[in-house]
Amino acid sequence: MKETLFMALVLTALFGCTQNNLQEASEMASEMQKVTFVAKDNVTIYANYWKAESSRAVILVHQFNSSKEAYTGLAKLLNEDDYGVLALDLRGHGESRAQGSLANPAYLSDKDFQDMHLDLSGAQKFLSEKAYTGFFIVGSSIGANLAVTYPFENSGFKAAVALSPGEDFKGLKPLSAARETNVPTMIVASKDDAYSFESAEKIHAAMTGEKKLVELENAGHGTFMLQNNPNLSSQILEWFKEHA
Protein backbone atom coordinates (compact mmCIF):
# COMPACT_ATOMS: atom_id res chain seq x y z
CA MET A 1 0.00 0.00 0.00
CA LYS A 2 2.78 2.39 0.97
CA GLU A 3 4.69 1.52 -2.21
CA THR A 4 1.59 2.23 -4.31
CA LEU A 5 1.07 5.58 -2.59
CA PHE A 6 4.76 6.44 -3.05
CA MET A 7 4.61 5.69 -6.79
CA ALA A 8 1.45 7.75 -7.15
CA LEU A 9 3.17 10.72 -5.51
CA VAL A 10 6.22 10.33 -7.75
CA LEU A 11 4.10 10.17 -10.90
CA THR A 12 2.07 13.20 -9.80
CA ALA A 13 5.28 15.16 -9.19
CA LEU A 14 6.72 14.17 -12.58
CA PHE A 15 3.49 15.00 -14.38
CA GLY A 16 3.36 18.36 -12.64
CA CYS A 17 6.96 19.13 -13.61
CA THR A 18 6.28 18.12 -17.21
CA GLN A 19 3.20 20.34 -17.38
CA ASN A 20 5.15 23.24 -15.90
CA ASN A 21 7.96 22.75 -18.41
CA LEU A 22 5.51 22.65 -21.30
CA GLN A 23 3.81 25.79 -20.00
CA GLU A 24 7.13 27.59 -19.64
CA ALA A 25 8.14 26.55 -23.18
CA SER A 26 4.83 27.72 -24.64
CA GLU A 27 5.17 31.05 -22.86
CA MET A 28 8.60 31.61 -24.42
CA ALA A 29 7.24 31.75 -27.98
CA SER A 30 3.97 33.27 -29.12
CA GLU A 31 1.45 31.60 -31.38
CA MET A 32 1.98 32.27 -35.07
CA GLN A 33 -0.69 34.45 -36.67
CA LYS A 34 -1.64 34.60 -40.36
CA VAL A 35 -1.71 38.26 -41.42
CA THR A 36 -1.93 40.38 -44.55
CA PHE A 37 -0.93 43.91 -45.47
CA VAL A 38 -1.15 45.94 -48.66
CA ALA A 39 1.95 47.25 -50.43
CA LYS A 40 2.00 50.80 -51.80
CA ASP A 41 1.05 49.56 -55.26
CA ASN A 42 -2.01 47.75 -53.84
CA VAL A 43 -0.54 44.23 -53.96
CA THR A 44 -1.77 42.16 -51.01
CA ILE A 45 1.08 40.43 -49.16
CA TYR A 46 0.51 37.42 -46.91
CA ALA A 47 2.76 36.75 -43.94
CA ASN A 48 3.26 34.70 -40.79
CA TYR A 49 3.64 36.84 -37.67
CA TRP A 50 4.94 36.04 -34.20
CA LYS A 51 4.43 38.89 -31.71
CA ALA A 52 6.86 39.87 -28.95
CA GLU A 53 6.87 42.09 -25.88
CA SER A 54 10.08 43.84 -26.93
CA SER A 55 10.41 46.63 -29.49
CA ARG A 56 12.65 44.49 -31.74
CA ALA A 57 11.35 42.85 -34.91
CA VAL A 58 12.83 40.70 -37.68
CA ILE A 59 11.67 40.59 -41.29
CA LEU A 60 12.33 37.25 -43.03
CA VAL A 61 12.57 37.25 -46.83
CA HIS A 62 12.62 33.95 -48.74
CA GLN A 63 14.33 33.03 -52.01
CA PHE A 64 12.91 32.75 -55.52
CA ASN A 65 10.23 30.07 -55.93
CA SER A 66 10.00 29.52 -52.18
CA SER A 67 7.73 30.81 -49.42
CA LYS A 68 7.56 32.15 -45.87
CA GLU A 69 7.35 28.61 -44.46
CA ALA A 70 11.06 28.11 -45.21
CA TYR A 71 11.77 30.23 -42.14
CA THR A 72 9.47 28.63 -39.58
CA GLY A 73 12.27 27.11 -37.49
CA LEU A 74 14.37 30.29 -37.44
CA ALA A 75 11.27 32.38 -36.71
CA LYS A 76 10.46 30.34 -33.60
CA LEU A 77 14.05 30.58 -32.35
CA LEU A 78 14.08 34.36 -32.76
CA ASN A 79 10.66 34.72 -31.17
CA GLU A 80 11.74 32.67 -28.15
CA ASP A 81 14.34 35.40 -27.58
CA ASP A 82 11.56 38.03 -27.67
CA TYR A 83 11.94 39.26 -31.23
CA GLY A 84 8.77 39.99 -33.12
CA VAL A 85 9.00 38.10 -36.41
CA LEU A 86 7.31 38.66 -39.77
CA ALA A 87 7.97 36.08 -42.50
CA LEU A 88 6.36 37.24 -45.72
CA ASP A 89 5.50 35.71 -49.06
CA LEU A 90 7.01 38.00 -51.69
CA ARG A 91 4.67 39.04 -54.49
CA GLY A 92 3.98 36.21 -56.90
CA HIS A 93 5.01 33.61 -54.31
CA GLY A 94 3.18 31.43 -51.80
CA GLU A 95 -0.11 33.03 -50.84
CA SER A 96 0.87 36.45 -52.27
CA ARG A 97 -0.25 35.54 -55.78
CA ALA A 98 -2.62 37.51 -57.96
CA GLN A 99 -3.71 37.72 -61.58
CA GLY A 100 -1.30 38.31 -64.43
CA SER A 101 2.43 38.13 -63.82
CA LEU A 102 1.87 37.61 -60.09
CA ALA A 103 0.07 34.30 -60.65
CA ASN A 104 3.27 32.26 -60.53
CA PRO A 105 6.96 32.95 -59.79
CA ALA A 106 7.81 31.85 -63.33
CA TYR A 107 5.67 34.68 -64.76
CA LEU A 108 7.27 37.52 -62.78
CA SER A 109 8.56 40.44 -64.86
CA ASP A 110 11.71 42.46 -64.24
CA LYS A 111 9.50 45.20 -62.82
CA ASP A 112 7.88 42.76 -60.40
CA PHE A 113 11.28 41.90 -58.98
CA GLN A 114 12.22 45.56 -58.66
CA ASP A 115 8.89 46.22 -56.90
CA MET A 116 9.63 43.65 -54.20
CA HIS A 117 11.11 46.46 -52.11
CA LEU A 118 7.50 47.64 -51.77
CA ASP A 119 6.71 44.31 -50.07
CA LEU A 120 9.44 45.03 -47.51
CA SER A 121 8.23 48.59 -47.06
CA GLY A 122 4.77 47.23 -46.30
CA ALA A 123 6.27 44.74 -43.86
CA GLN A 124 8.17 47.45 -42.01
CA LYS A 125 5.04 49.61 -41.88
CA PHE A 126 3.02 46.68 -40.49
CA LEU A 127 5.56 46.18 -37.71
CA SER A 128 5.90 49.91 -37.00
CA GLU A 129 2.15 50.12 -36.45
CA LYS A 130 2.58 47.44 -33.78
CA ALA A 131 5.08 49.67 -31.94
CA TYR A 132 8.29 47.95 -33.04
CA THR A 133 11.13 50.43 -33.47
CA GLY A 134 14.29 48.37 -33.98
CA PHE A 135 14.38 46.31 -37.16
CA PHE A 136 16.45 43.36 -38.35
CA ILE A 137 16.28 41.44 -41.61
CA VAL A 138 17.24 38.01 -42.95
CA GLY A 139 17.10 37.36 -46.67
CA SER A 140 17.84 34.28 -48.77
CA SER A 141 19.18 34.37 -52.35
CA ILE A 142 17.09 37.05 -54.08
CA GLY A 143 15.88 37.91 -50.59
CA ALA A 144 19.53 38.25 -49.54
CA ASN A 145 20.02 40.93 -52.17
CA LEU A 146 16.97 42.73 -50.78
CA ALA A 147 18.41 42.33 -47.27
CA VAL A 148 21.41 44.37 -48.39
CA THR A 149 19.66 47.01 -50.49
CA TYR A 150 16.48 47.68 -48.50
CA PRO A 151 18.09 48.55 -45.11
CA PHE A 152 20.53 50.84 -46.92
CA GLU A 153 17.62 52.76 -48.44
CA ASN A 154 15.41 52.76 -45.31
CA SER A 155 16.14 53.79 -41.74
CA GLY A 156 15.62 51.87 -38.52
CA PHE A 157 17.62 48.72 -39.24
CA LYS A 158 20.10 47.54 -36.63
CA ALA A 159 21.54 44.51 -38.45
CA ALA A 160 21.07 42.31 -41.52
CA VAL A 161 21.85 38.77 -42.62
CA ALA A 162 22.25 37.80 -46.29
CA LEU A 163 22.11 34.07 -47.05
CA SER A 164 23.60 33.18 -50.47
CA PRO A 165 23.47 36.62 -52.12
CA GLY A 166 24.29 37.14 -55.79
CA GLU A 167 25.87 39.98 -57.72
CA ASP A 168 22.76 40.01 -59.88
CA PHE A 169 19.60 38.05 -59.08
CA LYS A 170 16.74 38.96 -61.44
CA GLY A 171 18.13 42.48 -61.85
CA LEU A 172 18.51 43.08 -58.11
CA LYS A 173 22.16 44.12 -57.69
CA PRO A 174 23.42 44.74 -54.12
CA LEU A 175 27.02 45.86 -54.75
CA SER A 176 26.30 49.60 -54.88
CA ALA A 177 24.36 49.49 -51.62
CA ALA A 178 27.02 47.26 -50.08
CA ARG A 179 29.70 49.90 -50.71
CA GLU A 180 27.75 52.56 -48.80
CA THR A 181 25.61 50.80 -46.19
CA ASN A 182 26.30 51.38 -42.51
CA VAL A 183 24.00 48.53 -41.42
CA PRO A 184 26.05 45.73 -39.77
CA THR A 185 25.69 42.82 -42.19
CA MET A 186 26.50 39.13 -41.87
CA ILE A 187 26.89 37.33 -45.20
CA VAL A 188 26.65 33.55 -45.36
CA ALA A 189 27.49 31.28 -48.29
CA SER A 190 28.54 27.70 -48.87
CA LYS A 191 31.56 26.76 -50.97
CA ASP A 192 29.55 24.21 -52.96
CA ASP A 193 27.26 27.05 -54.13
CA ALA A 194 29.87 28.56 -56.46
CA TYR A 195 28.06 31.63 -57.80
CA SER A 196 26.73 32.77 -54.42
CA PHE A 197 30.02 32.01 -52.69
CA GLU A 198 31.97 34.15 -55.15
CA SER A 199 29.29 36.86 -54.97
CA ALA A 200 29.36 36.79 -51.16
CA GLU A 201 33.12 37.37 -51.15
CA LYS A 202 32.77 40.33 -53.54
CA ILE A 203 29.88 41.89 -51.62
CA HIS A 204 31.70 41.43 -48.31
CA ALA A 205 34.89 42.97 -49.75
CA ALA A 206 32.92 45.97 -51.04
CA MET A 207 31.46 46.76 -47.61
CA THR A 208 33.22 49.43 -45.59
CA GLY A 209 30.97 49.22 -42.52
CA GLU A 210 30.71 46.48 -39.91
CA LYS A 211 30.53 43.11 -41.62
CA LYS A 212 31.03 39.39 -41.16
CA LEU A 213 31.52 36.61 -43.71
CA VAL A 214 30.51 33.08 -42.72
CA GLU A 215 31.88 30.42 -45.07
CA LEU A 216 30.23 27.00 -44.91
CA GLU A 217 31.00 23.63 -46.48
CA ASN A 218 28.45 21.51 -48.37
CA ALA A 219 25.51 23.44 -46.93
CA GLY A 220 23.71 24.26 -50.18
CA HIS A 221 21.92 27.44 -51.18
CA GLY A 222 19.83 29.95 -49.25
CA THR A 223 17.49 28.64 -46.58
CA PHE A 224 18.69 25.09 -47.23
CA MET A 225 21.77 26.13 -45.27
CA LEU A 226 19.56 26.47 -42.18
CA GLN A 227 18.64 22.81 -42.53
CA ASN A 228 22.11 21.56 -43.44
CA ASN A 229 24.01 23.52 -40.82
CA PRO A 230 22.22 23.30 -37.43
CA ASN A 231 24.41 26.03 -35.90
CA LEU A 232 23.52 28.68 -38.44
CA SER A 233 20.25 29.77 -36.84
CA SER A 234 22.02 30.32 -33.52
CA GLN A 235 24.73 32.33 -35.28
CA ILE A 236 22.06 34.58 -36.78
CA LEU A 237 20.47 35.09 -33.36
CA GLU A 238 23.85 35.94 -31.81
CA TRP A 239 24.57 38.45 -34.59
CA PHE A 240 21.29 40.21 -33.86
CA LYS A 241 21.87 40.13 -30.09
CA GLU A 242 25.25 41.82 -30.61
CA HIS A 243 23.46 44.69 -32.35
CA ALA A 244 20.15 44.86 -30.49
What is the pLDDT at residue 23?
A: 41
Q: Report which of 110, 187, 123 is spatially closest to residue 150, judged by C-alpha positions.
A: 123
Residue 168 has, within 13 A of its CA and on its CB side, a CA count of 2
What is the pLDDT at residue 30?
A: 84
What is the pLDDT at residue 21?
A: 39
What is the pLDDT at residue 28?
A: 58
What is the pLDDT at residue 39?
A: 98
What is the pLDDT at residue 91?
A: 98
Instruction: Look up residue 2 and give its amino acid.
Output: K
What pLDDT digit, counting tens, does each position of 105-138 carry? 999 999 999 999 999 999 999 999 999 999 999 9
The β-bridge partners of 186 are 161, 212
Residues of the chain whose pLDDT is less than 50?
A: 1-26
21: number of Cβ within 10 Å: 10
What is the pLDDT at residue 110?
A: 94
Between CA 169 and CA 211 the distance in angstroms is 21
Q: Report which of 134, 105, 85 is spatially closest to residue 244, judged by C-alpha positions.
A: 134
Between CA 215 and CA 168 the distance in angstroms is 20
What pLDDT digit, counting tens, does each position of 43-52 carry? 999 999 999 9
DSSP letters spanning 187-231 = EEEETTSHHHHHHHHHHHHH--SSEEEEEESS--STTHHHHH-TT
Residue 187 has, within 13 A of its CA and on its CB side, a CA count of 30
What is the pLDDT at residue 171?
A: 93
